[in-house]
Amino acid sequence: RPYIILGTLREQLLYPNVDRQVSDQELSEVLQQVNLQDVLTRVGGFDQEVPWENILSLGEQQRLAFARILVTRPHFVILDEATSALDFKNEGNLYQQLQKTNTTFISVGHRESLFNYHQWVLELSEDSHWQLLTVQDYRRQKAKEISSVPGDNSQARVENSPHQQAAMKPQINSSQELLLESPTTTILTEEGLSHAQMTKLSNYSVSSI
């Protein structure tokens, strides 16, 4: 569940930098990007303070969290089950908006649809082992595991979207995307990571948005 502060709609969108100067026009455009344009009318403007958790559904709160990212444009963001309450259409729109920024993002989640917006999977197993695979290789591996289960007559198919096919030969640009799958988990990088590099990845001062 996203962190919802006590305050106005403007402060919700600007959090954690609530004193930042952003025009109403820019904020309106961001609300439109995340499909929350009706909220402005519902609450009566950017400077109205309302009981947000009673006004916004969980899905709307998740879209609001993405709006904050689009406003603040952080260098790095971790998305933990950030679209769990959304339909696939809204989820796709949010990730497409995020991909247009220069923000590096890591997603933690259970939805297979998240593969469409990432290039690499870092899988962390319960015995402390890990593997780093491209999304395509990860899907092939899981399909083989499913097809090899005794008594399972189902045919496993791996279908790649055009986005995934284009990433068959992965290239990491300034906006690296990382996918983390629970309870086994996921990430993005050109090469395998050493233990020291993995430790460094988690050595960040994180601000909740």
- C-alpha distances (whole Å) from 21 to each of 43, 131, 209 are 21, 43, 18
Dihedral of the alpha carbons of 94, 46, 72, 35, in degrees to the nearest 10? 10
The phi, psi pair for 64, rounded to 5°, reads: -60, -40
The pLDDT tens digits of the residues spanning 27-62 come to 999 999 999 999 999 999 999 999 999 999 999 999
Q: Three-state DSSP class for 169?
A: coil
Q: Give the residue-averaged pLDDT of 141-164.
A: 65
The pLDDT tens digits of the residues spanning 195-204 come to 555 555 555 4
**162 pLDDT above the threshold of 60:** no
* Mean residue pLDDT across the chain: 81
CB count, 10 Å around CB of 170? 15
Q: Three-state DSSP class for 131?
A: strand
Q: Give the residue-averaged pLDDT of 123-129.
A: 87
Q: Where are the beta strands (DSSP E) in 56-151?
A: 76-80, 104-109, 120-124, 130-134
Q: Take residue 81 and report the two structure tokens written for it.
A: 């089950």
| Chain-centroid distance, C-alpha 88 | 13
Q: Which of 62, 69, 135 is nearest to 103 (CA)?
A: 69
Does the pTM surpass 0.85? The reply is: no
* Pair 97, 73: CB distance under 8 Å: no
What contacts 145, CB < 8 A, 6 or more positions away?
none
For tokens 């303070």, name the residue.
49
